[in-house]
Amino acid sequence: MKLILVLYLSSLLGTSIAYDCAYCQPEQVHIAFGEKTNDIVVTWSTFNDTKETRVQYGKNVMDTEARGYSTLFVDGGPRKHSQYIHRVTLRDLEYDTEYVYHAGSVYGWSEQFNFKTPPAGEDWVVRAAIYGDMGNKNAHSLSYLQDEAQRHKFDLILHVGDFAYDMDTDDAAVGDQFMRQIQPLAAAVPYMTCVGNHEEKYNFSNYKNRFSMPGPQQSMFYSFDIGPIHFVSISTEYYYFINYGIHMLMNQYDWLVDDLTKATQRENREKRPWIIIYGHRPMYCANDEAECRNQRIPVRTGVPFIGFVVAAWAAGVEVRCRLRRTTHLYASAAARPRTMIY
Where exactly does CATH 2.60.40.380 map onto the chain? Answer: 20-214
**For the chain, percent of residues with pLDDT exceeding 70:** 82
Mean pLDDT of 68-82: 98
pLDDT exceeds 50 at position 8: no
Which tens digits make up the pLDDT trace of 201-210? Answer: 999 999 999 9
On whether the CB atoms of residues 142 and 134 are closer than 8 A, the answer is: yes
**E-only strand ranges, the chain:** 27-33, 40-46, 54-58, 64-67, 69-74, 82-90, 98-105, 108-109, 113-116, 128-131, 134-135, 156-160, 163-164, 191-194, 222-226, 229-233, 274-278, 329-330, 333-334
pLDDT confidence tier of residue 318, bands split at 50, 70 and 90 = low
Which tens digits make up the pLDDT trace of 128-168? Answer: 999 999 998 878 899 999 999 989 999 999 999 999 999 99
pLDDT confidence tier of residue 200, bands split at 50, 70 and 90 = very high
Gap between the Cα atoms of 167 and 134, Å rounded: 11
Gap between the Cα atoms of 23 and 105, Å rounded: 12
How many CB atoms are located within 10 Å of the residue 128 CB?
Answer: 17
Sign of CA dihedral 73, 111, 164, 250: positive
**E-only strand ranges, 94-228:** 98-105, 108-109, 113-116, 128-131, 134-135, 156-160, 163-164, 191-194, 222-226
Q: What is the pLDDT of residue 293?
A: 73
The single-letter code of the amino acid at 2 is K
CA neighbor of 255 nearest in space, from 271, 270, 277: 277
Which tens digits make up the pLDDT trace of 168-190? Answer: 999 999 999 999 999 999 999 99
The model's pTM is 0.88
Gap between the Cα atoms of 304 and 301, Å rounded: 7
Question: Regarding the domain with residue range 20-214, which homologous superfamily does it belong to in the CATH classification?
Answer: Purple acid phosphatase-like, N-terminal (2.60.40.380)
Q: What is the pLDDT of residue 338?
A: 59
Mean pLDDT of 235-253: 92
Gap between the Cα atoms of 186 and 149, Å rounded: 8
pLDDT exceeds 80 at position 217: yes
Mean pLDDT of 305-310: 60
